[in-house]
């Protein structure tokens, strides 16, 4: 793989890892003649007659890379030229011969993948380590924006920054309703924005197995970077020299969230029996970003089984994917994993696992000063005037008589007040009496 020598930046000035450069030859593509020929046959078989340039664009390879394979297929009488312009073979219309159709069918039975050509596994590994989550630039001022909607004590805020910089795993624990998930998602927001962009391939090939990587449902395409001047970009496009390899997609650092639905099967390659290629597991798609396991301990898989699956990857920073033949493929485990739970950590994990989680952040019930700040912030969000007597009532009636304050109470109670006002066709406002009514509905059954 050829890597550009210049770091680029997006419009906000965030760093973008060096981009993979478009291959100048079949050798530089990392793919064999036979592999590319089979892809060409499958593509024409599925899409019909294609111009040379359209075929290259569809496969995300410069035409000069597929020129030799096209000539080989033509010499073998597997494809034919149905016409074209005087521009050259890039404008020829290629179709399958009867022999080529038979060969294409055989190729489809082996693997039905069509689309952007995959990159070699080694190229993916190299690029992955160029855009590691370890050592990202992070300082207090940079965290203010994604955490601006949260009310945190300074010591809590300062515990999060080093965890992000380390790129190691984070364990966020504490009683429910105090912002653990919100904190974890704020870390993800920081990585997704201030963390800059990374490159992921549409697919990669390992031991002749195609594994799809880019997932539009999970990856956000980032097209904000300015790589070259307009004049330079035009020249590069015409010459197809020094351009970014189109087999890669530039995305924001991924933030993938999973909860109770997580099971061990989701952490393995998913093989399509009909199409004969694989889809990368969900956590693998988080490489270069954040993988958040929310409500840890409530998954379909037991915590013990999940932790046994990850105990070595967390330590060694690499994982193994197993293909249908039983062969294991070593891949990077390059992501910030966040475990968020309201269960007792000692009941979930043992000391051996806790040792591998570098950062532990306890999130507990807020003191009254923090509670009042959260309450006031939610009043502002809902367009209400802050009423201290409402907070006084909550402490007099509930919090000094056994109920532990929760940060989420502020939101839930005030939104209940909002609903009461709307139902009565009143302007949304806050009084002690409205809070008494809202609390009776929301809290009473739990006292």
Q: What is the tens place of the pLDDT at every residue in 240-277? A: 556 899 999 999 999 888 888 888 888 899 998 899 99
Question: What is the C-alpha separation between 354 and 173, in angstroms, rounded?
Answer: 12
Residue 330 lies in a domain: yes
Question: Considering 70, 88, 114, which residue would you say is the last residue of a domain?
Answer: 114
Question: Considering 60, 82, 114, which residue would you say is the last residue of a domain?
Answer: 114
Q: Is the dihedral of CA 76, 79, 80, 85 positive or negative?
A: negative
Q: pLDDT at position 87, please?
A: 62
Q: pLDDT at position 444, please?
A: 59
Same domain? 178 vs 231 = yes
In this model, does residue 44 exceed pLDDT 90?
A: yes
Same domain? 148 vs 275 = yes
Residue 163 lies in a domain: yes
Same domain? 281 vs 142 = yes
Same domain? 154 vs 43 = no
Same domain? 109 vs 132 = no
Contact 437, 420 (CB under 8 A): yes
Same domain? 269 vs 353 = yes
Question: What is the C-alpha separation between 153 and 139, in angstroms, rounded?
Answer: 16
Confidence of residue 279 (pLDDT cuts 50, 70, 90): very high
Confidence of residue 186 (pLDDT cuts 50, 70, 90): confident
Residue 26 lies in a domain: no
Domain count, the chain: 3
Residue 304 lies in a domain: yes
Q: pLDDT at position 218, please?
A: 92
The CATH number that applies at residue 94 is 1.10.10.10
Same domain? 431 vs 312 = no
385-394 long-range Cβ contacts below 8 angstroms, 24+ apart: 385/429, 385/430, 386/430, 387/430, 387/431, 387/432, 387/435, 389/431, 389/432, 390/430, 390/431, 390/432, 390/434, 390/435, 392/432, 393/432, 393/435, 393/436, 393/439, 394/435, 394/439
In this model, does residue 446 exceed pLDDT 50?
A: no
Question: What is the C-alpha separation between 253 and 134, in angstroms, rounded?
Answer: 13
Comparing CA positions, the residue from 353, 402, 408, 360 lying closest to residue 170 is 360
Q: pLDDT at position 97, please?
A: 95
Question: Which conformational region is residue 167 in: left (phi greater than 0), alpha (psi within -120 to 50 degrees), or beta?
Answer: left
Residue 350 lies in a domain: yes
Longest CA span, the chain: 89
Q: pLDDT at position 235, please?
A: 42
Q: pLDDT at position 364, please?
A: 85
Same domain? 213 vs 68 = no
Same domain? 187 vs 306 = yes
pTM beyond 0.85, yes or no: no
Confidence of residue 5 (pLDDT cuts 50, 70, 90): very low
Q: pLDDT at position 420, please?
A: 95
In this model, does residue 4 exceed pLDDT 60?
A: no
Q: Which domain holds residue 44?
A: 32-114
Question: Considering 92, 114, 136, which residue would you say is the last residue of a domain?
Answer: 114
Express each pLDDT in 203-228 by its tens digit: 999 988 999 999 999 999 987 654 44
Mean pLDDT on 159-181: 81
Of residues 368 and 259, more confidently modeled: 368
Of residues 133 and 226, more confidently modeled: 133
Q: pLDDT at position 422, please?
A: 95
Residue 280 lies in a domain: yes
Same domain? 41 vs 136 = no
Tell me the average pLDDT of the chain: 85
Confidence of residue 386 (pLDDT cuts 50, 70, 90): very high
Same domain? 352 vs 373 = no
Residue 25 lies in a domain: no
Question: What is the C-alpha separation between 159 and 268, in angstroms, rounded?
Answer: 33
Same domain? 216 vs 313 = yes
Express each pLDDT in 62-114 by its tens digit: 999 999 999 999 999 999 998 866 567 788 999 999 999 999 999 999 999 99
In this model, does residue 15 exceed pLDDT 60?
A: no
Residue 342 lies in a domain: yes
Share of the chain above pLDDT 70, in %: 90
Q: pLDDT at position 337, please?
A: 87
| Residues listed for the chain | 447
């Amino acid at each position: 793989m050829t890597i550009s020598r210049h770091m680029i930046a997006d419009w906000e000035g965030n760093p973008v890892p060096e981009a993979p450069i478009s291959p100048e030859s079949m050798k530089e593509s990392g793919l064999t003649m036979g592999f590319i020929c089979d892809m060409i046959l499958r593509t024409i078989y599925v899409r019909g007659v294609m111009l040379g340039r359209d075929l290259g664009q569809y496969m995300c390879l410069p035409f000069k890379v597929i020129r030799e394979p096209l000539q080989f297929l033509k010499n073998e009488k597997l494809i034919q030229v149905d016409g074209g312009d005087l521009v050259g073979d890039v404008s020829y219309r290629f179709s399958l011969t009867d022999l080529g159709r038979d060969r294409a069918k055989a190729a489809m039975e082996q693997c039905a993948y069509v689309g952007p050509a995959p990159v070699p596994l080694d190229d993916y590994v190299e690029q992955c380590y160029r855009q590691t989550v370890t050592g990202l630039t992070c300082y207090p001022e940079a965290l203010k924006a994604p955490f601006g909607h949260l009310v945190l004590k300074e010591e809590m805020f300062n515990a999060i920054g080093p965890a992000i910089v380390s790129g190691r795993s984070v364990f966020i624990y504490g009683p429910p309703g105090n912002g653990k998930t919100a904190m974890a998602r704020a870390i993800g927001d920081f990585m997704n924005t201030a963390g800059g962009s990374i490159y992921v391939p549409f697919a990669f090939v390992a031991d002749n197995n195609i594994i799809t990587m880019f997932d539009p449902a999970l990856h956000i395409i980032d097209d904000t970077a300015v790589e070259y001047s307009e004049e330079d970009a035009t020249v590069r496009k015409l010459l197809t020299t020094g351009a970014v390899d189109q087999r890669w997609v530039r995305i924001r650092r991924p933030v993938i969230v999973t909860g109770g639905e997580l099971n061990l099967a989701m952490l393995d390659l998913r093989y399509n029996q009909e199409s004969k290629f694989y889809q990368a597991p969900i956590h693998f798609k988080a490489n270069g970003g954040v993988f958040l396991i929310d409500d840890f301990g409530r998954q379909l898989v037991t915590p013990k089984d999940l932790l046994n699956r990850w105990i070595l990857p967390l330590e060694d920073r690499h994982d193994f994917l197993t293909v249908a033949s039983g062969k294991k493929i070593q891949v990077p485990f390059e992501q910030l994993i966040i475990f968020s739970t309201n269960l007792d950590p000692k009941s979930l994990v043992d000391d051996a696992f806790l040792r591998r989680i570098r950062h532990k952040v306890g999130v507990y019930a807020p003191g009254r000063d923090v509670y009042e700040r959260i309450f006031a912030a939610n009043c502002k969000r809902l367009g209400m005037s802050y009423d201290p007597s409402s907070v006084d009532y909550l402490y007099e009636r509930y919090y000094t008589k056994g109920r532990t304050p929760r940060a989420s109470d502020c939101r839930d109670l005030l939104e209940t007040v909002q609903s009461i006002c709307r139902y009565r066709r009143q302007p949304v406002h806050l009084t002690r009496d409205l809070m008494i009514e809202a609390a009776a509905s929301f809290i009473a059954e739990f006292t």
